[in-house]
Amino acid sequence: MNEFSPPLKLAFISVHTSPLAQLGVQKSGGMNVYLHELARELGRRGHHIDIFTHRPDPAGREVDGSMGAGSRVIHLALKGLPGPRSQEELFEARQQFAAGVIRFATRNPIRYDLVYSHYWLSGWVAEKLKEIWQIPFIQMFHTLGQMKHRIANRSFPSTRTREELRITERADAIIAATPAERAQLRWLYRANRRKIHIVPPGVDTDFFQPRPAEPARRHLALPPQAKVLLFVGRIEPLKAVDDILKALAQIRVLRPAVFRELRLLIVGGNPHELGPIRQLATRLALREKDTVHFLGPLPHSELPRAYAAADAVIMPSDYESFGMVALEALASGRPVIATQVGGLAHLIEDGHTGYHIPTREPGILADRILHLLSHEKTAAAMGHNAAISAQRYSWQRIGDELLAIFQRLLSSVQRDR
């Protein structure tokens, strides 16, 4: 904040998921981290941020200020909707949600300057708030339905597509995480080019920074000389964890000596979600606790240690709108082997900070893993480059870029009045 920019009051809308939710299971991942970290960054600068989200636990408290100065999470109870609910049910409850936000702001009382809405489910609410409060709204989709469903080869749910089209039309500005997302917004949703601003998510470069492997491995009871590969993320088919297991099975045949030293850590997923992956590991005779370690979902605070323990982080995703995990791995000074899709195509520089691989090619993944593990100097240089490349994404810089957009938008609205 400088002398020209008074503190802003911002309402973030995230109907279906809370920044305080447990990460790495069900639908909680990058977007939750984005909201949490951005709100903290802006809060530290003296702005006020309220993040409105659905309250799945009726006994839970409405206002949670545990995120630190300047930011609060407001959990809104929806009548008839206790417990985690489907996206369809939450969409049906959109009027009730918008009414809850308005009631909160009237009761407390607070006048927001701007609404920042996340994911398609929040757009309707944001538009309503814009109408009633006469303030602008900015949208970030995080994933676009048409992209996700194209990749998964499923038909598009029409409600989501219709909503995304409408939000694209009505939002005062749209934040795209990558140039690829901007192109998708332009071509698939006919978005006005002038509305779209490319601002990627950030990473906490003090929290995620290069750390020595040895203490981390000791903590995780891994042999110090092991070759450690790491996967972090929600367990869903598009993340292609199965390809990592298939690659390991190929390495066993190609280079048995390397295979004996290999350890794959899988972070994320509840027992139900991990069921099919465990079955595949058994079918491929990859022994648990020997080759494959299922660490389950880890609190974000424990992730620096997981990255520190790894020689490389593997992301063979079919699609990734951004890929915070890749960014955290780079900031931790670890090379990333990832498919060249969505945000991963921009985050990783092939041969410089990691390797790009084609989707669904476990043989090529195996080859790249072997190459990296057998060229220690190259791997170390890549790790060094990786940490440097992540500096561009510090939350401080991302916060500056977003605030500049917020402020430009607010002054243009004032001028038009």
- Which residue, 341, 357, 376, is CA-closest to 247? 357
Smallest distance from ligand UDP to CB 168, Å: 21
Q: What is the DSSP letter of 237?
A: G
Smallest distance from ligand UDP to CB 35, Å: 11
Smallest distance from ligand UDP to CB 356, Å: 17
Smallest distance from ligand UDP to CB 142, Å: 7
Residue closer to ligand UDP by CB (options 101, 344) is 344
268 contributes a contact to ligand UDP by CB under 6 A: yes
Smallest distance from ligand UDP to CB 203, Å: 8
Where in 32-51 is the site for ligand UDP (CB under 6 A)? 33
State how far the Cα of 367 lies from the Cα of 406, in Å rounded to an integer. Answer: 46
Binding mask 234-263 for ligand UDP (x = CB under 6 A): x-----------------------------
Residue closer to ligand UDP by CB (options 98, 325) is 325
- Which residue, 59, 322, 372, 66, is CA-closest to 202? 322
Smallest distance from ligand UDP to CB 325, Å: 4
Residue closer to ligand UDP by CB (options 82, 210) is 210
Which two structure tokens, joined as six digits, stand for 188? 């698939």
- Residue 369 φ/ψ, nearest 5 degrees: -60, -45
Contacts of 410 (CB under 8 A, 6+ apart): 8, 113, 114, 136
Where in 310-349 is the site for ligand UDP (CB under 6 A)? 322-325, 328
Q: Are 281 and 305 in contact (CB under 8 A)?
A: no
State how far the Cα of 308 lies from the Cα of 6, in Å rounded to an integer. Answer: 40
Residue closer to ligand UDP by CB (options 242, 367) is 242
Binding mask 278-297 for ligand UDP (x = CB under 6 A): -------------------x
C-alpha torsion sign, points 362, 365, 370, 373: negative
Contacts of 56 (CB under 8 A, 6+ apart): 82, 83, 84, 85
Taking CB under 6 A as the binding criterion, the range among 106-114, 120-128, 230-238, 395-403 that sits at the site for ligand UDP is 230-238
State how far the Cα of 161 lies from the Cα of 165, in Å rounded to an integer. Answer: 6
SS3 of residue 199 by DSSP: coil
Smallest distance from ligand UDP to CB 248, Å: 20
Q: Which residues pair with 267 in a beta bridge?
A: 232, 296
Contacts of 197 (CB under 8 A, 6+ apart): 173, 174, 175, 176, 405
78-105: string of b/e by CB count within 10 Å (b at 16+)? beebeeebebeebbebbebbbebbeebb
Residue closer to ligand UDP by CB (options 230, 379) is 230
Among 10, 15, 20, 30, binds ligand UDP (CB under 6 A): 30
- Which residue, 315, 305, 362, 308, is CA-closest to 339? 315
Which two structure tokens, joined as six digits, stand for 144? 């676009």
Smallest distance from ligand UDP to CB 333, Å: 16
SS3 of residue 13 by DSSP: strand
Q: Closest residue to ligand UDP, Cβ-based?
A: 29
Count of residues that interact with ligand UDP, criterion CB under 6 A: 20
State how far the Cα of 176 lies from the Cα of 266, in Å rounded to an integer. Answer: 29
300 contributes a contact to ligand UDP by CB under 6 A: yes
Neighbours of 63 (CB within 10 A): 11
Angle (nearest 5°) at CA 244 between 271 and 344: 100
Radius of gyration for the chain, computed over Cα atoms and rounded to the nearest angstrom:
22
- Residue 267 φ/ψ, nearest 5 degrees: -105, 125
Smallest distance from ligand UDP to CB 71, Å: 18
State how far the Cα of 44 lies from the Cα of 395, in Å rounded to an integer. Answer: 11
Among 10, 11, 23, 313, binds ligand UDP (CB under 6 A): 23
Residue closer to ligand UDP by CB (options 130, 334) is 334
Taking CB under 6 A as the binding criterion, the range among 23-31, 51-59, 374-382, 383-391 that sits at the site for ligand UDP is 23-31
298 contributes a contact to ligand UDP by CB under 6 A: yes
Residue closer to ligand UDP by CB (options 24, 100) is 24
Smallest distance from ligand UDP to CB 2, Å: 30
Residue closer to ligand UDP by CB (options 15, 114) is 15
Smallest distance from ligand UDP to CB 106, Å: 34
Residues binding ligand UDP (CB under 6 A): 23-24, 29-31, 33, 232-234, 267-268, 297-298, 300, 303, 322-325, 328
